[in-house]
Amino acid sequence: MGCLPFSSSRSERPAEGDSKFKFSWSIFRNPASAQGKRSSKSAPAISSLPQSNAEPRSSSHLASSSAAHNSIEASSVSSSTNLQQVEEEETRRRDAPCISSDATPLMQSISERTSELQVFTFGELRGVCQGFSRSNLVGEGGFGCVYRGFIKNTSSKEAQSSKEVAVKLLNRNGQQGHKEWLAEVRFLGLVEHPNLVKLVGYCAEDDERGIQRLLVYEFIARGSLEGYLFSKSQSVLSWRQRIQIMLGAARGLAYLHQEIEGIQVIFRDFKTSNVLLDEDFTPKLSDFGLARQGPEMGATHVSTSVVGTIGYAAPEYVQTGHLTSKSDVWSFGVVLFEMLTGRRSVDRNRPKSEQHLLEWVRPYLHGSKKLHLIMDPRFEGDYSLVQAQKIVELALHCCHRAPRARPTMSSVVKKLKWILEDVSSSNAHADVATDKEGSVQMDGHNKEVAPVKRRKLVIEDVKRRIWAPKAISL
């Protein structure tokens, strides 16, 4: 449900990939984990994954903040002091005497950095969202509800303008706990990248009304990639658009894995619903509640609870709880297959033999002769089989059964850039050239254009020549 904070769609059918089911990873399974020794605990079964993308709460109860915000005036101050109070109080009230890798929010190594997030009061955000009215509701899920609103722009250049935001109101009895809320604040307040959603601010108040936890994001108008790939109500993404979107998403993951100084961040829940699209279809990764800091001090992996979404989680992570950046790479490969086929990673509404995407596509991936049989029919042939084969090879590489054999995300970025350049080049050469008599000129480069598109072009040319009105000289 990661798209909901920013989606303009009020309600959508739950993704099949979010449901609980038993699933065999046999076709991609790695017999032995490549990430070091197995955990002493028994490997968790795939069916043990939660139905949602939220991590199970720990037994510790949520802490109370030492002071409540009583002012409803807009605030634009450094959030470090306020956030530190929330963290310190939670640490003092935590039941468990020791902190495991799972009980620690993301990125302790940079916890002392300050952030310029806006700190809002509950009353202020209630006003922004018109009393959290149904008319402002844009999404809801296990975490709570998301509302649309406008706040004053704090930029000195645009002080008189307003900014559209999405306000996530955490359900105190919901599936997303305080730890996930805190992870999003700590992480998104410290990093910035064109392909990561921007966190504007937050609210943390404890008073007689109870615990209030809210997050304020930039509003992403077009909603999620999931909606465009699987919803009939959305326009169809072109071949070029899909590659551009996947390239942007890959850049976001590469930034998390390799470009933040001193640390590595593992997203842990990459899927189509967590890729949001702005007005220009620029992808932005969202929902960082499950993100974790990567291995440190030469460690090969991070041992953590198995959470995420069935159909996207890497098999070695499901089996052992060993988390690495290559877990994200696997998930990216799954989404590449979704982009090619227009099908969900798991779809229980299809025939049994077609419910699990990775199993269904496997017989069609050897060579390009059968590849067209699994391509999204909404392309209507408007794609290159040569480029599609390159995407398949990249997706298979990402979904290699041995984690260490999978590419890095920076390598994935390079390969997708090459494919996108090839798309641009092919489009330039494959454009239909019309001669003086209006006939279609098909050159050698056009052989890569799928047969369906060639037939359509020829038919259109014939129609023009037969039915085009001719000038009559008097």
Q: In a 3-state reduction of DSSP, which class is residue 234? A: coil
Strands 137-141 and 144-152: antiparallel
3-state class of 279 per DSSP?
coil
Residue 37, helix vs strand vs coil: coil
Using CA of residue 2, residue 8, residue 13, residue 16, what is the dihedral sign? Answer: negative
The token pair that represents 159 in the structure block: 């002080």
Q: Give the C-alpha separation, 275 to 251, whole Å.
A: 12
Measured CA to CA, the distance from residue 234 to residue 409 in angstroms comes to 29
With H, G, I as helix, E, B as strand and everything else as coil, classify residue 210: strand
168 is in an annotated binding site: yes
Query: Which residues form the catalytic set?
Result: 269
Distance, CA of 78 to CA of 409 (rounded, Å): 33
C-alpha closest to that of 85 among 189, 182, 210: 182
Please report, as a single letter, which amino acid is at residue 153: N
How many CA within 13 A on the CB side of residue 20? 8
User: CB of 55 within 8 A of CB of 180?
Assistant: yes
Q: Which residues are annotated as a binding site?
A: 168
Q: Which residues are annotated as a binding site for ATP?
A: 168
